[in-house]
Amino acid sequence: MSLSGGPTQDEILAISLSKLSPNKNEIMADIGCGTCKVSIAASGLVKKVIAIDRRTEAINYSKIKIEASGAKNIELIAGEASEILNRVENPDCAFIGGSGNIETVLEILVTKGCKRVVINAVLLNTVTKAVNTMKKLGIFEEIVHVQVSCSYTLAGDIMLKPKNPVYIIVGRTK
Q: Which residue ranges of the chain lie beneath pLDDT 50?
A: none
Domain boundary assignment for the chain: 10-172
Query: Which residues have a Cβ under 8 Å from the Cβ of 141 and sit 6 or more positions away?
Result: 170, 171, 172
Q: Cα-flanking dihedrals φ and ψ of residue 59, to 5°? A: -65, -45
What is the structure's pLDDT at 16?
Answer: 97
Between CA 172 and CA 174 the distance in angstroms is 6
Fold observed for domain 10-172: Rossmann fold (3.40.50)
What is the structure's pLDDT at 2?
Answer: 55
What is the structure's pLDDT at 98?
Answer: 76
What is the structure's pLDDT at 5?
Answer: 61
What is the structure's pLDDT at 8?
Answer: 85
What is the structure's pLDDT at 6?
Answer: 66
What is the structure's pLDDT at 104?
Answer: 95
What is the structure's pLDDT at 174?
Answer: 73
What is the structure's pLDDT at 3?
Answer: 56
